Amino acid sequence: MEERIVIAGFGGQGIMAIGQLLTYAGMMENKNVSWLPSYGPEMRGGTANCNVIISTDAVGSPVVTESTAAIVMNKPSLDKFEKSVMPGGKLFINSSLIDRKATRDDIEVYYIPANEIANELGNIKVANMVMLGAFIEATNVVQKENIFDKAFVEVFGEKRLNLIPLNKEAFERGAKLIREQKVAL
């Protein structure tokens, strides 16, 4: 098993946090992992993306050129990374901020209104957790329990434990969207 994931959006959307949570959860499951962040030249609001590899085999390179999945939080990221998803891969689109559909029919595409759900929950900052919940529900790349039981503390620290309930709720809303889409098919 090897998942090669690209996560992309604007700085401040929690792109790196998604990558770190996946990486820590993978480590906790004794999988081989890598996390490679990339930032645009802007101080704030610029582009941000990261490559995450979670594998049962050794990871040769942290660079993802052909991904098994991509999570895109804004339109420039969709424009840039849609083509990097390998045939049969998965593409997760934040439909709250992206007004176009995917152009490919050889991949699975999930439209997740992450910002709308985050706003319903009262905090736009949890849009990334909505996307993460959808991603893990669709891929089962890591066990969702490991995200909140261990990885969350590693990424955000013990001082942020009070944020777990809201983040869990956002995560579950994203997962529920995927379960509902599977039932509808």
**Alpha carbon of residue 82 to chain centroid:** 14
Question: Residue 3: which H helix or E strand, with range?
Answer: strand 2-10
Q: Give the pLDDT score at 42.
A: 61
Extract the runs of DSSP E, i.e. beta strands, from 29-161: 32-39, 47-55, 67-72, 85-94, 108-112
Provide the residue ranges of all domains of the chain, joining segments of one domain with +.
2-184
Q: What tokens were used for 81?
A: 């990374």
Amino acid in the structure at residue 142: V
Q: Give the pLDDT score at 12.
A: 83
Q: What tokens were used for 27?
A: 């480590």
Q: Does domain 2-184 have CATH number 3.40.920.10?
A: yes
Mean pLDDT, consecutive 10-residue segments, the chain of 185 residues?
Answer: 92 91 94 89 73 89 89 95 96 96 95 96 95 96 90 86 91 94 61
Q: Give the pLDDT score at 58.
A: 86
Q: Give the pLDDT score at 41.
A: 65
Q: What is the pTM of this model?
A: 0.92
